Amino acid sequence: MICILLVAGHGTVLETQIKNDDTGLYSHLTGVPKALLPGTGGKKILDFWWETVNVRQLFTEVYLVTNADKYKHYERWATANDFPVENVINDGSTTLEDRLGAVADLELVIRSRKLQDDIMVIAGDMLCADQNFDIAQVIRFFRSKPGELIIYYELEESEKSSSRGIVEVCSDTNRITRFMEKPQDGTTSRLASVVFYCIQRDTLSYMSDFLNLQPQATDRSFGRFWEWLINEKQLDVFGMKLPTGFQLIGQVGLSDYTKWLTHYSTKQHNNSAIPITCRSYARVGLMGNPSDGFNGKTIAMSISNFWAEVTLAESQTLVLLPHPLNDPTEFGSLQDLFCISRKEGYLGGLRLLQATCKKFYQFCSKQGIALTKQNFTLKYDTNIPRQVGLAGSSAIVSATLKCLMKFYNITDSDLPKPVRANFILNVETDELFITAGLQDRVVQVYEGLVYMDFSKKLMEEQGYGNYVPLDMSNLPLFWLAYLSDPSDSGRIHSNIRQRWLSGEPAVVEAMQSFAELTDQARVALKDRDWSCLARLMDQNFELRRSVYTDDCLGPGNLRMVQLARQFGSAVKLPGSGGAVVGLCLDQARLVEMRQAFQEAGCVFCVIAPYNPSASSVGGQR
Run of H or E residues at 65: strand 61-66
Phi, psi of 602, deg, nearest 5: -105, 160
For residue 290, is the peptide bond before it cis, meaning its omega torsion is within 30 degrees of 0?
Answer: yes
Residues ≥6 apart with Cβ < 8 Å to 208: 107
Cβ(166)–Cβ(187) under 8 Å? yes
Residue whose C-alpha is closest to residue 207's, from 179, 235, 180, 182: 235
Query: Cα separations (Å) of 99 from 103, 236, 552?
Result: 11, 29, 35
Residue whose C-alpha is closest to residue 5's, from 38, 54, 43, 40: 54
Q: Tell me how far apart the alpha carbons of residues 409 and 363 are, in angstroms, rounded to a whole number.
A: 14
Residue 52, judged by CB atoms within 10 A of its CB (0-12, 13-18, 19+), counts as middle
Alpha helices in 214-247 (DSSP H): 222-226
Q: Tell me how far apart the alpha carbons of residues 92 and 148 are, in angstroms, rounded to a whole number.
A: 29
DSSP 380-444: EEE-PPTTSSS-HHHHHHHHHHHHHHHHTT--TTTS-HHHHHHHHHHIIIIIS-----SHHHHHH
Run of H or E residues at 167: strand 165-169
- Please give the single-letter amino acid code of residue 209: D
Cβ(480)–Cβ(574) under 8 Å? yes
Q: Tell me how far apart the alpha carbons of residues 213 and 234 are, in angstroms, rounded to a whole number.
A: 17
3-class DSSP state for residue 372? coil
Cβ(479)–Cβ(593) under 8 Å? yes
Q: Tell me how far apart the alpha carbons of residues 406 and 347 are, in angstroms, rounded to a whole number.
A: 27
- Please give the single-letter amino acid code of residue 73: H
Return the number of other C-beta atoms located less than 10 Å from residue 256's C-beta. Answer: 15
Q: Tell me how far apart the alpha carbons of residues 216 and 431 are, in angstroms, rounded to a whole number.
A: 48
Strand 119-123 and strand 2-6: the pairing is: parallel
CA 492 from centroid of its chain's CA atoms: 24
**Catalytic, out of 440, 471, 519, 551:** 440
CA 20 from centroid of its chain's CA atoms: 21
Cβ(22)–Cβ(268) under 8 Å? no
430 flagged as catalytic? no
Q: Tell me how far apart the alpha carbons of residues 377 and 315 are, in angstroms, rounded to a whole number.
A: 6
Residues ≥6 apart with Cβ < 8 Å to 499: 506, 507
Residue whose C-alpha is closest to residue 285's, from 485, 417, 442, 165: 442
Task: Please identify every residue annotated as catalytic.
Answer: 440
